[in-house]
A = this chain, B = another copy of it.
Amino acid sequence: MNSRPRNSLKLISEKFGVSPTTVSRVLSGQAQKYRISPETEKAIKDFAAKENFTPNPIAKGLRLKKTHTIGLIIPDIANPFFAGIASQVVNVARTHGYSIVLCDSEENPALEKQSIELLWARQVDGMILCPVGQTPDYLERYAREQRPLVLVDRVFPGLGLPYVSADNFTGAKNATAHLLDNGHRRIACLQGMVGTAPSEARVGGYTAALKERGVPFDPRLVVGDSFGEQSGYLDTKLLIRATPDITAIFAMSNLLALGALRALREENRSVPGDISVIAFDDQPYLAHLSPPLTTVAQPHLEMGAAAVKLLLDEMRAPSSATKSGLYLPTSLVIRQSVRKLD
């Protein structure tokens, strides 16, 4: 009873006194093309529907060298930012007939590399990678080998791989401008992992806004080296000791903002009374924080969807020369964590 003898083309073909080929043709919608008799076609189709039979994709995969499978590597699926991306990737992929094999690199480059190899070995047709953001040496090879691979978020332009990212530069620039508009001049910047594209772009936007308004750039105000809560907490603590004249903090991630809030609370600085805060990346709960946090919203869902579409293109036209990068616009969500100075 444990060995349900799974149906197969062969079994079905015997049942109807035809060849497996015929069954295959019917089931792949080629009955018309091969002018298979309508009766046979109907009989087979009905049977398949009734038994809810689908040709074994493993066998198909072996034969066709296509698994209809996409690998997805995420640094931390428990992080809502990545979870949001993943949700769209899964859904869009499904509507195109692809399944997702999910790996979690745990923010670990070695595990990331291992996961990539695993997925290629598993014969995925393509791959979407949110790199942890460091030493992309091995990625270069995949670019050269023309593998269908698209990068998301912590992208590496110039690698020759297509990518999708939020327009971090403009997002950060607008957020900084918003602070400036509200009279802030001493604005600290809690940056993320140094050397990653998002962090660099955000700091770039911050600097650009400052420059545009003629506000002097103070390097002591740019601190931090990770996107995590810990880092936000610690660096904020240090910051308010080292440069007590700051009136605003631009935290370049969600978690960083949470950490900053915790530090500020401990140090009895009110937000936005004493210090204004802007976060990066919107999440539902930010509206429920005290105070509701102003933030730069990233188009998660669009990012995930775009990644799949780019990948599908890539898979269709393997050697397209134009590896286009895509920057999706952010939007400033204004809540109540920025105070107007006069």
Contacts and interface: CB of A to CB of B under 8 A. Distances in A.
Interface of A: 1-2, 4, 52, 54, 56-59, 61-62, 67, 69, 72, 76-80, 83-84, 86-87, 90-91, 94, 99-104, 106, 117-118, 121-123, 145-146, 229, 258, 261-262, 283-285, 287-291, 318-319
A217 to B, nearest CB: 30
Nearest to A146: B2
Nearest to A144: B1
B99 A100 contact: no
A1 B117 contact: no
Nearest to A104: B90
A138 to B, nearest CB: 11
B91 A319 contact: no
B90 A103 contact: yes
A91 B104 contact: yes
A52 B117 contact: yes
A211 to B, nearest CB: 33
18 contacts: A1-B319, A2-B319, A4-B145, A56-B121, A57-B121, A57-B123, A58-B62, A58-B67, A69-B101, A77-B77, A77-B83, A87-B104, A99-B101, A99-B122, A258-B288, A285-B289, A289-B289, A289-B290
A57 B120 CA distance: 11
Contacts of A76: 87
The 3 closest A-B pairs by CB, nearest first: A290-B290, A83-B83, A78-B87
Contacts of A318: 2
Contact of A288 (B102, B261, B319): B261
Contacts of A62: 56, 58-59, 62
At the interface, is chain A mostly helix, strand, loop or mixed? mixed
A67 B121 CA distance: 13
Contacts of A319: 1-2
Nearest to A84: B78
Contacts of A122: 57-58, 99
Contacts of A284: 229, 258
Contact of A58 (B54, B58, B78, B101): B58
A102 B104 contact: no
Nearest to A318: B2
Nearest to A255: B284
Nearest to A77: B87
A90 B67 contact: no
Contacts of A77: 77, 83, 86-87, 90
Given A78-B83, A87-B78, A123 B56 contact: yes
A229 B58 CA distance: 42
Nearest to A55: B121
Contact of A106 (B58, B91, B261): B91
A101 B52 CA distance: 21
A99 B83 contact: no
Contacts of A83: 77-80, 83
A80 B80 CA distance: 6
B90 A58 contact: no
Contacts of A102: 72, 86, 90, 100-102
Contacts of A94: 103-104
Contacts of A101: 69, 99-102
